[in-house]
Amino acid sequence: MSLLTIKGVTKGFGAVQVLNGVDLAIGAGSVVGLVGDNGAGKSTLMKTVTGIYGVDAGEISLNEVRINDAAPGARREMGIEMIYQDLALAKQQDVAANIFLGREPVKRAFGFLPGYVDRARMDREALKMIDRLGARIPSIHRPVGMFSGGQQQTIAIARALTFNPKLVIMDEPTAALAVREVESVLKLIRQMRDEGIAVILISHRLNDVFEVTDRIVVLRQGRIDADLVTKDTQMHEVVSYIVGAH
């Protein structure tokens, strides 16, 4: 039984048809690389999984339950998390605020007054998660826009991991990172797999994909052209599928 099942999904924007019938199954604790050329539809496909886009046709299910109609917030509660290419951080808010964005813990004084956000708890748990990820962040009270790209990404990852996700989608996580930071991201992905979290890795950097994934799925012109087992394939084969020369 697979964790996430995508069946026959199509999606168009106006006259442009981006997804043309995608079928894909992701198992728990597996790391799947999603590769393809620019405009192949990778980000769009993942946004239909997180609920930002609705689908024109087809079905998306989590643990055999259809989730087409669930809103992004609900899907996060079901355990689907995504780290977006632009990180989707609120740059003027601090670390804790970003990690708990949309899911702020609320405390009620005296039981009847309107609840207030439990900043102390947010700060505590944010610090815990940042430490667990082994990152060094000068102060959790600065606005995140002040931090470096690598630090910001750590915060985005922390947000995705804080609520015990089942599936984490990462869109180009290593594209803007230094070598040492790339290593820590790859290490993190392996850790997630060991903890039973499924990972979908969208990346242009095929070296990274070959390093951490179990499967490589090639998306071309809105359709899955190839579904390969990583250890049974090689870079040039994947590239040929990407450019359509296979």
Partner 1 sequence: MQTNSQLARISAWRRTQDFFDSRLHVRLESLIVLAVLFIAMALASPYFLSVSNILNILLATSTIGILAVGTTLILTSGGLDLSIGSVLGLSGVAGAYLCVTLDLPWIMAIVGALGAGAAVGYANGLMITRLRIPAFIVTLGMLGIARGLALIIAPNGGAIYGLPAPVVFLGQGRPLGIPMPVIILALTAVAAHYILAYSKVGRHTFAIGDNESAARATGIPVQRLRQILYTLSGLSAGLAGLVFMARVNAGDPTAGYTYELTAITAAIIGGTSLFGGKGSILGAIIGAMIMGVLQNGLNLLAVQSYYQQIAIGAVLILAVYIDQLQTSKEKKA
Backbone angles phi, psi at 213, to 5 degrees: -90, 155
Write the single-letter amino acid at 157. Answer: I
DSSP secondary structure of 179-202: HHHHHHHHHHHHHHHHTT-EEEEE
74 binds partner 1 (CB under 8 A): yes
Closer of 25 and 117 to partner 1 (Cβ): 117
Q: How far apart are CA 207 and CA 31, in angstroms?
A: 15
Q: How far apart are CA 24 and CA 4, in angstroms?
A: 8
In the complex, least distance from residue 96 CB atom to partner 1, rounded to whole angstroms: 11
Q: Which of 108, 128, 141, 190 binds partner 1 (CB under 8 A)?
A: 141
**Residues in 16-55 at the binding interface with partner 1, rule: CB under 8 A:** 50, 52
In the complex, least distance from residue 157 CB atom to partner 1, rounded to whole angstroms: 14
In the complex, least distance from residue 92 CB atom to partner 1, rounded to whole angstroms: 4
Q: How far apart are CA 19 and CA 45, in angstroms?
A: 7
In the complex, least distance from residue 99 CB atom to partner 1, rounded to whole angstroms: 10
**Residues in 98-117 at the binding interface with partner 1, rule: CB under 8 A:** 101-104, 106, 114-117
Q: Which pair of structure tokens corresponds to residue 242?
A: 């990407």
Q: Which pair of structure tokens corresponds to residue 108?
A: 């009620």
Smallest CA-to-CA distance from 209 within 173, 178, 177, 165 is with 173
Smallest CA-to-CA distance from 24 within 231, 208, 219, 213 is with 219
**Residues in 145-204 at the binding interface with partner 1, rule: CB under 8 A:** 146, 148, 151, 159
124 binds partner 1 (CB under 8 A): no
Q: Which residues bind partner 1 (CB under 8 A)?
A: 50, 52, 71-77, 82, 84, 88-93, 97, 101-104, 106, 114-117, 136, 138-139, 141-142, 146, 148, 151, 159
